[in-house]
Structure 1
Amino acid sequence: MALSLSHFASCSSSSPIPIALSSDSLPFSITKSTTEGDPNYTAPLFPILPFHKYPQNPILTANPDHDWESAYVYNPAALVLNETIFLLYRAQNASKTSSIGLAWSSDGYHFTRLSRPILHATEPWEAGGGTEDPRIVRVNGTFYLTYTAYDLGTPRLCIATSEDLVQWTKHNPLFQSGPGTIFDHSKSGAIITKPSPDGLYHMFFGDSVFYHATSPDLLNWTASSTPFASPLLTWENGLIEPGPPPVKTRDGRWLLIYNAMTTGADGYRATQYSVGQMLLDIENPASSQSSTSLSSASGRMNAEQIPINHNPHSQSHSDSDSDSNKHRYHHTVGLVGKVPSFTDRPFARLETPFLVPTTPEEESGQVDLVVFAEGLVQFRGKWFLYYGQADQSIGVAVADVQ
């Protein structure tokens, strides 16, 4: 059943949500044995739709009582521990230096935040700009946080590890930097938590195209210099950037929510950031291409064909469309019988975004016309997608588990 706005009746009111409460400690101690995820977790189908924006967004805003988050908060990562949602969010002070804060909620909408940042600039490659845009996974009881270190000159993809979300060990930038290096500029690492049959972990990163990297231990990464995915559709023709870590679908593929910017065409507003979904395939045989779960009225199309049926003016992407079949998608396997893999290209992607800027908080802010997702969790029978609003505040959109 599609989620309707009536779902929010019990948590809506005419009064705005106040700035989240602050605490000097977490609601419970986190150890390697702390339970992760929803106890009734159900793997998704592709795509997860429809999402509805919470009517009382934003759920987190800047806190003038804390200098480190006094200007903006946005772009959160998310996870569930002990039936509690935790957000790790980017925060900026008046000088726009970024730190990463921590907040938690028992219902997904009302949060208490830790009064101090859990990650801030300490290294030369973080000086001035700070630590930005976290994404988080947990493997064997250890949290792996990818973030962007920014020294006001070059953004560098980094990783930090922890067992309790509070004490973190930073590691060097993931790729060599300097003149002549391929990935001197690197951002936005989304890690797949399950290794492939060869024992390697996989990560997608980049803020113009997607690159693919592998690692035996989640700390040492080797990246391919060949782009894995490039902008293909009008709404994403400026750039594409990974969102939350991919989630495994019921048929063994991986669903990746991603962010994209358009240069403006076919009715889209120039520089608008929107959110889409694509499907990745790591180990399914070529015969899986005929799966009925991937059938579409648009038929099979190769990566060079331009998809049809754009509808940039529709508000149904996030707010009112209960018919997820209106979102069309196409296959991007270029050759019939070719086995899709992480060295190939996305198996499919939505032809239109499912989340677009529609509210004042999303259309006007530090950067106008932005919704930017980095946190996705399943919680109590719903998918909660946490996203930045115009680089100034945090919103959430919710979908039913299929």
Structure 2
Amino acid sequence: MTSPAVSTASTVPYEIHRLGVIMAPDPQAPEEVEGVLNPAVATDPQGTVWLFPRLVSEGNFSRIGRAEVLCDGGVPTGVRRDGIALEPARTWEAGGRHGGTEDPRITRIDALGLYVMTYVAFGPTGPRTALAVSEDAHSWRRLGPLQFAYDDALDLDLTLFPNKDVVFFPEIVPAPDGTPSIALLHRPMWDLSFVRPDHDVRLPGGVLEHRPSIWISYVPADEVRRDESALTRPRDHRFLAGPEQDWESLKIGAGPAPVRVPEGWLLVYHGVSGTIEGSVFTPQADVHYAVGAMLLDPADPSRVLQRTAAPLMTPETDGEREGVVANVVFPTAVERIEGRDFVFYGMADSRIGVAELVRRES
């Protein structure tokens, strides 16, 4: 049975310090009229840092853009737009009243020689996570939606359910049976009301936590080396962490790809509190997004070692409190630039902020 883990709330020795807004919508660009937000970031083989923002046009239709990150003294201060990296071009990326390629995350996996982009393909059946890969962070080829392996022991077919906030680990890690694997974090949602409006939330037989939570799954590394499309077929699903504190009482989800630190794997994540009215797929007016962190065991990344009891960041600035969805800080990338780690995050679903991730002095 997949039950919530014992609380590990404690002090995680990292802090996030705001630096400012790095990208805001261009009022002259139709593809950005409803916001720029929730970006991926990647440094290409030539050392240029690229931002991959979600661009939202009229009607909440999204594309993944591309922009060069401009720095002053090694600190990101702005961007130079460079077109579209990925736009809806498949049936599973657009449909109904809403559509698009949304909320990308990018992990560079050196062992595969690949940049792996996860993104939300919002198509006819709601949000599904899809993958695209690249050798150079410029040209991307789709691998398609994730197809989670069925787990009979848990009576669990994750492919049936909407899933978001998917990120890959940048290094090979051990699966529960010790197999060297490519691991990914994800957040299944048990609400099927997008396709069945009269459907109540009904948990699979082996699931005890009804609130959206962080899970971990694995793909054997040897399988991926033989066929990169194996990345879309994860297995060995495990519940990792669910909501614990008041500031994350509704749901939690992974943010950027886990970062290797001396203590283990540092996962920056988001937590949501407030009230959900109706379906989770409709815009909400009374929600509050904050940022937390947890440390995962390097020998078994399905095990949480420590977790913040209080958030590292909450909406405080006008740009974080006011926007398409008020009161949102939504981290989606951590990138090392000239020896410093910078967090890129969505602000109120409208613009993009940058902050620095630092280790707290003891």
Where on the TM-score scale, by shorter chain, does this alignment land: which range? Answer: 0.7 to 0.9
Partner in structure 2 of residue 174 of structure 1: 146
Mapped pair 1:78 → 2:41: yes
Partner in structure 1 of residue 162 of structure 2: 185
The verdict on how the C-alpha distance between 1:135 and 1:50 changes in structure 2, with shifts beyond 3 A counting, is same
Does the residue aligned with 1:361 lie in a helix, a strand or coil? helix
Which of the residues 254, 257, 262 maps onto 2:265?
254
Does the residue aligned with 1:125 lie in a helix, a strand or coil? helix
**After the TM superposition, which residues 178-217 of structure 1 pair with which residues of structure 2 at under 5 Å, given as runs?**
181-183=157-159, 184-197=161-174, 198-206=179-187, 208-216=212-220, 217=224
Q: CA deviation at 1:388?
A: 0.3
Structure number having the greater strand percentage: 2
Deviations 1:322-374 (A, max 9, x none): xxxxxxxxxxxxxxxxxxx344x421101111111011111121111100000
Partner in structure 2 of residue 372 of structure 1: 330
Q: CA deviation at 1:176?
A: 5.8
Q: Distance in 1 between matches of 2:241 and 2:115?
A: 27
Which of the residues 82, 93, 109 maps onto 1:139?
109
Which of the residues 314, 333, 343 maps onto 1:356?
314
Instruction: State the superposition RMSD in angstroms.
Output: 2.4
Mapped pair 1:111 → 2:83: no
Q: Distance in 2 between matches of 1:237 and 1:243?
A: 17
Q: Bigger CA drift: 148-157 or 92-101? A: 148-157
Q: Based on CA coordinates, which of the two structures has the bigger radius of gyration?
A: 1
Q: Distance in 2 between matches of 1:102 and 1:164?
A: 13
Partner in structure 1 of residue 100 of structure 2: 130
Q: CA deviation at 1:142?
A: 1.7
Partner in structure 1 of residue 279 of structure 2: none
Q: Distance in 2 between matches of 1:224 and 1:261?
A: 27
The verdict on how the C-alpha distance between 1:275 and 1:152 changes in structure 2, with shifts beyond 3 A counting, is farther
Q: CA deviation at 1:50?
A: 3.0
Q: CA deviation at 1:110?
A: 1.8
Q: TM-score scaled to structure 1, two decimals? A: 0.67
Does the residue aligned with 1:257 lie in a helix, a strand or coil? strand
**After the TM superposition, which residues 290-329 of structure 1 pair with which residues of structure 2 at under 5 Å, given as runs?**
none
Mapped pair 1:51 → 2:22: no
Mapped pair 1:221 → 2:221: no
Mapped pair 1:275 → 2:233: no
Task: Look up the equivalent residue of 1:126 and give its one-letter code.
Answer: E
The verdict on how the C-alpha distance between 1:91 and 1:152 changes in structure 2, with shifts beyond 3 A counting, is farther
Q: CA deviation at 1:166?
A: 2.8
Deviations 1:279-318 (A, max 9, x none): 11131xxxxxxxxxxxxxxxxxxxxxxxxxxxxxxxxxxx
Does the residue aligned with 1:395 lie in a helix, a strand or coil? strand
Q: CA deviation at 1:69?
A: 2.3
The verdict on how the C-alpha distance between 1:113 and 1:154 changes in structure 2, with shifts beyond 3 A counting, is same
Q: Distance in 1 between matches of 2:13 and 2:134?
A: 30
Matched-pair contact (CA < 8 Å) for 2:217–2:237 = no
Matched-pair contact (CA < 8 Å) for 2:218–2:237 = no
Matched-pair contact (CA < 8 Å) for 2:147–2:232 = no
The verdict on how the C-alpha distance between 1:202 and 1:225 changes in structure 2, with shifts beyond 3 A counting, is closer
Q: CA deviation at 1:185?
A: 0.9
Deviations 1:161-205 (A, max 9, x none): 11233321111211269xx94332111111111112422111111
Matched-pair contact (CA < 8 Å) for 1:213–1:221 = no
Which of the residues 65, 90, 98 maps onto 1:101?
65
Q: TM-score scaled to structure 2, two decimals? A: 0.74
Matched-pair contact (CA < 8 Å) for 1:48–1:399 = no
Structure 1: unaligned runs, 5 residues or longer? 1-45, 284-340
Matched-pair contact (CA < 8 Å) for 1:104–1:111 = yes
Matched-pair contact (CA < 8 Å) for 1:372–1:387 = yes
Task: Look up the equivalent residue of 1:199 and give its one-letter code.
Answer: P
Q: Percent identity?
A: 30
Does the residue aligned with 2:232 lie in a helix, a strand or coil? coil
Partner in structure 1 of residue 351 of structure 2: 393
Partner in structure 2 of residue 337 of structure 1: none
Does the residue aligned with 2:139 lie in a helix, a strand or coil? coil
Structure 2: unaligned runs, 5 residues or longer? 1-10, 150-155, 189-211, 225-229, 276-284
